[in-house]
């Protein structure tokens, strides 16, 4: 388990709050970053100037949980500059207590299976779009060509 500088600050802060090392579970591949033995979740955010970034997959995972707090750290302090209960930003505000929040939408990769002669007419076979445009594009393209099948997979840019 390799923690970055901000995650290390968060874990050390949780231990100062009374959690034992074995009571803190680090989730390197998902959100929240830390879960504690009492069921609380902590998502660690680095402050870039006056902005934090929340990716679509992080939002989706945190939305499923009941007790998640975002811990916002800057470079100067060992304690969080701000603690944000996820319930306070569930509606995706652009700011919270003077901190700007960049909401990065989840992106979906769409590929179209088609005969090779048709494929050769197109420069690309895949495009990346956000979720709300998947169905619109599917309907639009489906009007113009007879498509055998669609493959829609999710991917997250920058996470």
Q: Please, what is the average pLDDT of the chain? A: 81
Q: For residues 35-45, give the mean pLDDT.
A: 96
Same domain, 43 and 114: no
Same domain, 23 and 88: yes
Same domain, 139 and 84: no
Same domain, 10 and 87: yes
Q: Which residues contact 70 (CB under 8 A, 6 or more apart)?
A: 42, 43, 44, 45, 52, 82, 83, 84, 85, 86, 89
CATH number, domain containing residue 42: 3.40.1350
Same domain, 151 and 115: yes
- The terminus-to-terminus CA distance of the chain in angstroms comes to 17
Same domain, 27 and 47: yes
Instruction: Give the total number of structural domains in the chain.
Output: 2
Same domain, 65 and 45: yes
Same domain, 58 and 80: yes
Q: Which residues pair with 129 in a beta bridge?
A: 108
Q: Token pair for residue 46?
A: 């680095």
For residue 122, what pLDDT band results from cuts at 50, 70 and 90? low
For residue 27, what pLDDT band results from cuts at 50, 70 and 90? very high
Q: Token pair for residue 150?
A: 């669609």
> What pLDDT shows up at residue 159?
37
> What pLDDT shows up at residue 73?
97
* 5-23 pLDDT per residue, tens: 999 999 999 999 999 999 9
The 3-state DSSP composition of the chain as helix, strand, coil percent (nearest 5) reads 30, 35, 40
> What is the domain extent for residue 150?
107-155
Residue 38 pLDDT more than 90?
yes
Same domain, 61 and 86: yes
Same domain, 21 and 68: yes
Q: Token pair for residue 9?
A: 């600050």
Instruction: Give the count of beta carbons closer than 10 Å to the beta carbon of residue 72.
Output: 21
Q: Which residues pair with 12 in a beta bridge?
A: none
> 34 to each of 29, 45, 119, 125, how far by Cα in Å?
11, 12, 45, 38
């Amino acid at each position: 388990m390799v923690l970055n500088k901000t995650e290390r600050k968060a874990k050390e802060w949780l231990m100062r709050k009374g959690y034992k090392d074995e009571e803190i579970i680090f989730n390197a591949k998902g959100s929240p970053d830390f879960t504690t033995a009492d069921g609380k979740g902590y998502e660690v955010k680095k402050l870039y100037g006056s902005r934090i970034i929340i990716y679509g997959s992080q939002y989706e995972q945190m939305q499923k949980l009941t007790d998640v707090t975002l811990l916002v750290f800057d470079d100067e302090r060992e304690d969080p500059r701000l603690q944000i209960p996820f319930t306070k930003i569930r509606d995706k505000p652009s700011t919270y207590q003077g901190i700007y929040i960049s909401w990065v939408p989840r992106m979906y990769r769409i590929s179209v299976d088609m005969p090779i002669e048709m494929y050769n007419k197109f420069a690309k076979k895949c495009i990346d779009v956000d979720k709300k445009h998947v169905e619109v594009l599917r309907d639009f393209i489906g009007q113009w060509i007879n498509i055998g099948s669609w493959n829609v997979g999710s991917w997250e840019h920058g996470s």
